[in-house]
Amino acid sequence: MSTVSTSSNRPYHIIVFGATGFTGQFVVEEVARTCCEGPGGTLKWAVAGRSRQRLEKVLLQTAETLSKPQLKSVEIIVADVAEPESLAIMCKQGVIVLNCVGPYRFYGEPVVKACIENGAHYIDICGEPQFLEGMQLSYHSKAQENGVYIIGSCGFDSIPADMGILYTRDQFKGALTAVESFLTVSTGPEGGCGHDATWQSAIYGFADSSRLRSLRKKFGHKPLPVVGSRLKKRGPLFFSNEIEQYAVPFMGSDASVVRRTQRYLYEEHEQSPIQYAAYTGVGGVCSVVKMLFAGMMFWLLVKFSIGRSLLVQFPELFSFGLFSKNGPSKKQIFLCVPEDHSKPNHDVFPDGGNLFLHDILWRRLRRRSGPLAGQTQCQDHHPN
């Protein structure tokens, strides 16, 4: 890997691409907060997007929020996914591009390609397995040749799951062989919801789920060996005693990301693979009825283009308020946290090695970073 240093040709350590987006603005704030921290001095950074005016506004707002007027003079790079030359110019200037432009299935590939061709490392917050695995299939060799890291899912999908398993493995007394994670989110009095782009990623991901199966066949992977007892699959809807509510399989990229990491650790470092399954809590009977109704409607509509455009146009209606065009307010975000259910208790670890991840993991996350973003939901933390 090339060293993380800048030069006159490559003046920025970090470029935040998509800085005007709902998530991009939070990333800008976080980069602005942390770029001066740490030993070794200051990180140089820039914001990028397709509208200079909107980027200026974001810098102005961030300068006000953080009371750092100097942020108004952060450099701006104008780049549009639809204009490959502008992407090449952007990528030549940065050591790392943080790509916040999604849905990634529509906008991600040109950015990955431009990064590889122009020697910039790439990080995104994608939660779409088709995109993540598709990029690995198409660009792994080229990225390796050029010494470029392409790192997806560095957000709620799927840092907690992926890093949480490694953390748990290191803390666990004995050999960790399987993990189940249960996600529950509690909102504050302001309620909570997800943002439109995440809703759209879900719609198109669901509509195209058959492509994921054919993509996976192309890798030609042998199944990973099962160490310890085989992790039993739960049903599509079940009552979870662990979180004392109904639960369903988690539809994001967690399982895909964890599987890739476990395969990498097994194949490259001869580490014993850990089985993993991700679930999310639904609530009580009323919530289940609502979810079944919404789920059936979603399943029917997502199959047809007219249905998909209805879903895209009316996120609040079809998700029963779980997603909206505006996304959650800042207040909602900071009052919305994954729940901490119980104390770590070795009694809950069945058959010597299986572990329910939610507890230790959420504790760790809350200690490290305070409340998580209410959008709830960011991968692969090694070279592809």
Ligand X SMILES: NC(=O)c1ccc[n+]([C@@H]2O[C@H](COP(=O)([O-])OP(=O)(O)OC[C@H]3O[C@@H](n4cnc5c(N)ncnc54)[C@H](OP(=O)(O)O)[C@@H]3O)[C@@H](O)[C@H]2O)c1
Cα–Cα dist 377/125, whole Å: 9
Q: How many CB atoms lie within 10 A of CB 367?
A: 8
Residue 74 sits in the site that holds ligand X (CB under 6 A):
no
Q: Is 50 in the site for ligand X (CB under 6 A)?
A: yes
Q: Does 58 bind ligand X (CB under 6 A)?
A: no
Residue nearest ligand X by beta-carbon distance:
102
Please give the size of the binding site for ligand X, defined by CB under 6 A: 32
Bin 40: left if φ > 0, else alpha if -120 < ψ < 50, else beta: left
- Which of 13, 14, 22, 45 touches ligand X by CB under 6 A? 22
What residues from 86 to 115 belong to the interface with ligand X (CB under 6 A)?
Answer: 100-104, 107
- Binding pattern for the stretch 288-307 against ligand X, x by CB under 6 A and - elsewhere: --------------------
Q: Tell me the closest approach of the beta carbon of residue 98 to ligand X, in angstroms.
A: 11
Structure tokens at 68: 């750092």
Among 12, 14, 15, 23, the residue binding ligand X under the rule CB under 6 A is 23
Alpha helices, DSSP H, located in the chain: 22-34, 52-65, 84-93, 104-118, 129-146, 159-171, 196-207, 209-219, 254-269, 285-301, 305-313, 315-318, 330-335, 358-369
Query: What is d(CA 358, CA 339) in angstroms, rounded to the nearest whole number?
Result: 9
Closer CB to ligand X, residue 22 or residue 362? 22
- Of 277, 270, 271, 233, whose CA–CA distance to 252 is shortest? 277
Is 18 a binding residue for ligand X by CB under 6 A? The answer is yes
Cβ nearer to ligand X, comparing 129 with 353: 129
| 130 touches ligand X (CB under 6 A) | no
Report, in Å, the least distance between residue 153 CB and ligand X.
Answer: 6
DSSP string of 220-250, one letter each residue: TPPPPPPPSSPPPPP-SSEEETTTTEEEEE-
- Which of the ranges 44-52, 306-314, 346-354, 358-366 carries the binding residues for ligand X, by CB under 6 A? 44-52
Least Cα distance to 164 among 179, 177, 150 occurs for 179
Q: What are phi and psi of 151, to 5 degrees?
A: -120, 115
User: 113 or 177, CB closer to ligand X?
Assistant: 113
Considering the complex, state which of residue 201 and residue 332 has its C-beta at the smaller distance from ligand X: 201
Burial of 268 (0-12, 13-18, 19+ CB in 10 A): exposed
375 binds ligand X (CB under 6 A): yes
CB 105 within 8 A of CB 212: no
Nearer to ligand X among residue 184 and residue 198 (C-beta): 198
Continuous segment of H or E residues that includes residue 354 = strand 354-356
For position 1 contacting ligand X by CB under 6 A, the verdict is no
Residue 87, φ and ψ in degrees, nearest 5: -65, -40
The site map against ligand X for 144-183 (x = CB under 6 A) is ---------x-xxx--------------------------
Q: Which long-range contacts (CB under 8 A, 24 or more apart) does 59-68 make?
A: 59/28, 61/25, 62/25, 62/28, 62/29, 62/32, 65/29, 66/29, 66/32, 66/33, 68/32
Among 197, 203, 258, 372, binds ligand X (CB under 6 A): 197
Q: Does residue 122 interact with ligand X by CB under 6 A?
A: no
Is 201 an interacting residue with respect to ligand X (CB under 6 A)?
yes
Shortest distance, CB of residue 39 to ligand X, whole angstroms?
Answer: 29
The tokens for 310 are 């209805």
Binding segment for ligand X (CB under 6 A), chosen from 16-24, 143-151, 211-219, 363-371, is 16-24
Judged by the rule CB under 6 A, the positions of this chain that interact with ligand X are 18, 20-24, 49-51, 54, 80-82, 100-104, 107, 125, 127, 153, 155-157, 195, 197-198, 201, 375, 377-378
